[in-house]
Amino acid sequence: MSTPQARAEGAGRRRSRAALAVLSGSLLVVGTAAAAVGSELWPVKNTPVEVPAATMPAGDTVLACAPTLHRVGGSESSDEAYGPGAATATSTVRSLALGDQAQRLPGAELLSEDRTLATLQARLSEAEAAKEATAASDGFSGTKGLVDAGRRFDDALWLRVQSLAGLRSPAAMTRTVNQNDGDLTGLATEACAAPSNVTWLAGASTTLGHTSVLVVSNPSKTTASVQVDVRTSAGLATEGAIQDFTLEPGATKSINVGGTARDEAAVTVRVSSSGAPVSATLSQAILRGLRPGGIAIISASADPATRQIMPGVQVLGAADASKVGSSEDAGDELPEVQLTDASGQGSTATLTALAADGTRTVVAKDVQIGKNAVVNVPLASLPAGNYTLEAVADESIVASARLLRGSDPKQPVDVAYIPGVAEMSTGQLLALPEVGTGWLHLAAPEEDSKVVIAPVAADGTVGESRTVEITAGQTVTVKAADFKGAAGLRLGASAGGVYASLLTEDGASKTAALVPQELPDAPASARVELLP
């Protein structure tokens, strides 16, 4: 797949040729040409050409999970008090997929590298899968699902789900990393996402004790050419810049971001690819001397825009945050928001916090963000509580909020990151983490909104839906455990702009965050180009 830049260059080279994008049905094209002989032009008769629609099949739904977190710098902890488990955090994966109204289940399988790990559901024949059906042969209708839970697998893996009736099948996959001892003590969750040609990862840090590892996987069947650029407080990092590389089908590459951005408190990574889309995440681990400071998997931020929304940000009070987040043995890990200029021109931004009841507080005004640079905005001015954060800028930015949980400076603490999120669609699927208590935060910053939630049970049954109403400017929190026995949730915003995140807590200090992923739409048609 070509990049936007390549497509633009290609378009420039084809200025003199006629091109047609076919959306549906058939289209009548009139081609006009001229022949040049010497210094004179001879007109050629216009000829109608009927071009049939070139509809593209939906293709499989593909979701990719990064490998679990590994300690950088050795296979075992330097301190026996933090082993076993210091080198690799244990993790499990839960996968969901939904069928159609005819109660058909799509084919589904888990893969890693070039092998199939498990067939969750046998594929239907292509002819059968292509049929449009609204009821089963016995006359009943309704959606069924399939669930695979508790699967322990540390390497990168992806879920591939067959399309039905020309539409991509809804699917979700979540990795839960839970570690009770060792350097990597903490909780991390990842909503495994569809591969993309451009991914922005914001929120990282590489100061003393902070390790950030970029993980890029290629779940596609074609080779990907990958480019990575790293942004810091000074702009694009050029010293030790990550070289472009090729990623074969099924391959995964890990890169220590500290090699490019050394001792940086604010780091954003942009990953782009051509040839094939890729999956990219950042694994963040913090060690404060001998005390674990938390783990997290940083997933993609919403596309660059002049407005970014971060729902469900749990803020410690300033005194508590300073007590457990400041250290002489490592860089600070205080609650804050990272704002990154994505325009290449520099930006000016305002950060506002919306309390659950809709009360607005301006956290920072006229924040200056340099060209391609990253700025940290502290949240110390906010009282303890849960907020939806809104960043508005005059140029495109990406954003991410860092959360901190813990109360005892002598005990491990944990971190989580909520990126700017895209507005919810009418149909999304969320696989719930397999550890802890989950809280779904639904924010409606501008207008009254509704969200319909239906549980998906461990046996794939889709339960009765519940409608959550949200008053403009407010945030509603829903406890996942209220849907008894749910392995996942089917979500749909039926009115207004809604933004969602899931915050999971376990014990006194563990925390993790993820954002429900929206599946990419299937292309409706191919681009048809008429060449001379």
Residues 249-294: pLDDT tens digits? 999 999 999 999 999 999 999 999 999 999 999 999 998 888 899 9
Q: What is the mean pLDDT of the chain?
A: 85
- Stretch 315-341: mean pLDDT: 84
Predicted pLDDT of residue 17? 34
Both tokens assigned to 274: 């051509």
Q: Looking at 21, 39, 55, which one is the last position of a domain?
A: 55
50 and 189 co-located in one domain:
no
Distance, CA of 327 to CA of 329 (rounded, Å) = 5
- Together in a domain, 218 and 285: yes
Q: Are residues 324 and 367 in the same domain?
A: yes
Is residue 526 included in any domain, yes or no?
no
Give yes or no: residues 109 and 182 share one domain: yes
* Residue 501, in any domain of the structure: yes
Pair (320, 454) in one structural domain: yes
User: Do 239 and 266 sit in the same domain of this protein?
Assistant: yes
Q: Is residue 530 part of a domain?
A: no
Which DSSP symbol is given to 429? E
Confidence at residue 60, expressed as pLDDT on a 0 to 100 scale = 93
Residues 428 and 413 in one domain: yes
For residue 48, the model assigns a pLDDT of 55
**132 and 38 together in one domain:** no
State the SS3 of 208-263: CCEEEEEEEECCCCCCEEEEEEEEECCEECCCCCCCCEEECCCCEEEEEHHHCCCC
Least confident of 327-336, 378-387, 433-442: 327-336
Residue 230 lies in a domain: yes
Q: Cα torsion for 22, 7, 304, 277, to the nearest 10°?
A: 90
- Considering the domain architecture, whether residues 78 and 13 belong to the same structural domain is answered as no
Q: Are the C-beta atoms of residues 478 and 438 closer than 8 Å to each other?
A: no
- 169 belongs to a structural domain: yes
- Evaluate whether residue 165 is within a structural domain: yes
d(CA 446, CA 274): 37
Task: Give me the pLDDT at residue 398, please.
Answer: 98
- Does 218 reside within a domain? yes
Domain count, the chain: 2
pLDDT digits 0-9 by tens, 473-499: 999 999 999 999 999 999 999 877 999
Are 15 and 127 contained in the same domain? no
Q: Measure the N-to-C terminal CA separation of the chain; round to a whole number of Å.
A: 24
Give backbone dihedrals phi and psi of 127, rounded to 5 degrees, phi first: -65, -40
Task: Report yes or no: 389 and 310 within 8 Å, Cβ to Cβ.
Answer: yes
Are residues 284 and 412 located together in one domain of the fold?
yes
Q: Which domain holds residue 155?
A: 61-514
Residue 453 in any domain: the answer is: yes
Q: What is the pLDDT of residue 133?
A: 80
Same domain, 18 and 99: no
Return the SS3 of 117.
Answer: strand
